[in-house]
C-alpha cells in the first residue's frame, strides 16, 4: 500500500532465503507470500510469474557479480594479481551474502540454459582473463574452457563444502590458498 519498493525488497529477500532452503521447486507462491507478509495475489503486482521472480533474482545478481569481478580484476596488472582479486571477491561475497551466493549456485542449474556467454557471466569473466594471460605468456597455452572451469571448481566446490559443514568458515581465510592453487593448477610459476 505504502511503499511498493519496500514490499518488493521483502519479497526478494524472503524468496532468496526460501529458494536456498527448500529449492525453487520446493517453494510455493503461498510460502513466498506468507514469508513476505503479503497476499498471494500481491506477488503478481510485482512479478509476472514465479519464474520471472527467479529469473530477475538470478540475472540481476549474477550480472552484478560478474561486473564486480571484472572491475576488481581490471584494477590489477598481472594475471596472478587478477586471479587473487577474483578469488578474494568470491570469498568475500560468500562470507557477506551466503544466501545470495548459494542461490546463484543452485539457480545456475535451472538458469544456465538461458545464460548467455557474454561478459555478464562470471565464468566468461574468468575465461577471458585466462585467455589474456595465455596471450601474454603469463601461463602456458591450454584450452581456456578447461582452465576456466578448473579455477571455478577450486572456488565453488570448497564453497559447497562450507555449506555442508565439510569446510570451516569463514571462506575468506582460504583466499590465498585457493588463489595459489589456481595459479599452480594453471601451470604458472609466479606463485605467491
Based on the shown chain and the rule CB under 8 A, indicate whether residue 150 belongs to the binding site for its own copies. Answer: yes
Number of CB atoms found within 10 A of residue 165's CB: 8
SS3 168: coil
- Residue of the chain from 45, 136, 184, 191 that contacts DNA (CB under 7 A): 45
- Residue of the chain from 34, 110, 119, 132 that contacts its own copies (CB under 8 A): 110
Helices 50-74, 122-136: inter-axial angle, 10-degree rounding: 30
Based on the shown chain and the rule CB under 8 A, indicate whether residue 158 belongs to the binding site for its own copies. Answer: yes
Span of 44-52, 116-124, 132-140, 177-185 interacting with DNA by CB under 7 A: 44-52
Q: What cell does 101 get?
A: 551466493
Q: What cell does 149 get?
A: 572451469
Q: Answer with the entry of its own copies, DNA, none that 60 interacts with (C-beta below 5 to 8 A by kind).
A: none
Write out the binding residues for DNA, residues 46-75 only, by CB under 7 A.
Answer: 46, 48-51
Span of 5-13, 71-79, 130-138, 149-157 interacting with its own copies by CB under 8 A: 149-157
Q: What angle do CA 38, 41, 46 make, to 5 degrees?
A: 80
Write out the binding residues for its own copies, residues 43-102 only, by CB under 8 A.
Answer: none
SS3 124: helix
Distance, in Å, from the CA atom of 36 to the CA atom of 59, rounded to the nearest integer, reads: 21
| Residues making contact with DNA (CB under 7 A) | 1-4, 6-7, 27-30, 38-46, 48-51
Amino acid at each position: 500500500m505504502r511503499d511498493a519498493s519496500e514490499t518488493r525488497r521483502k519479497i526478494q529477500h524472503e524468496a532468496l532465503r526460501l529458494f536456498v532452503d527448500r529449492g525453487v521447486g520446493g517453494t510455493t507462491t503461498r510460502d513466498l507470500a506468507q514469508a513476505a507478509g503479503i497476499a498471494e495475489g500481491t506477488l503478481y503486482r510485482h512479478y509476472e510469474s514465479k519464474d520471472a521472480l527467479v529469473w530477475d533474482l538470478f540475472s540481476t545478481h549474477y550480472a552484478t557479480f560478474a561486473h564486480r569481478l571484472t572491475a576488481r580484476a581490471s584494477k590489477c596488472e598481472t594475471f596472478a594479481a587478477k586471479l587473487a582479486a577474483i578469488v578474494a571477491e568470491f570469498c568475500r561475497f560468500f562470507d557477506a551474502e551466503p544466501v545470495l551466493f548459494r542461490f546463484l549456485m543452485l539457480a545456475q542449474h535451472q538458469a544456465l540454459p538461458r545464460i548467455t556467454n557474454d561478459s555478464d557471466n562470471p565464468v566468461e569473466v574468468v575465461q577471458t582473463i585466462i585467455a589474456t594471460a595465455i596471450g601474454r605468456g603469463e601461463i602456458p597455452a591450454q584450452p581456456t574452457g578447461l582452465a576456466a572451469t578448473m579455477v571455478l571448481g577450486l572456488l565453488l566446490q570448497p564453497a559447497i563444502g562450507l555449506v555442508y559443514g565439510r569446510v570451516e568458515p569463514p571462506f575468506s581465510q582460504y583466499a590465498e590458498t585457493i588463489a595459489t592453487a589456481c595459479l599452480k593448477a594453471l601451470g604458472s610459476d609466479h606463485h605467491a
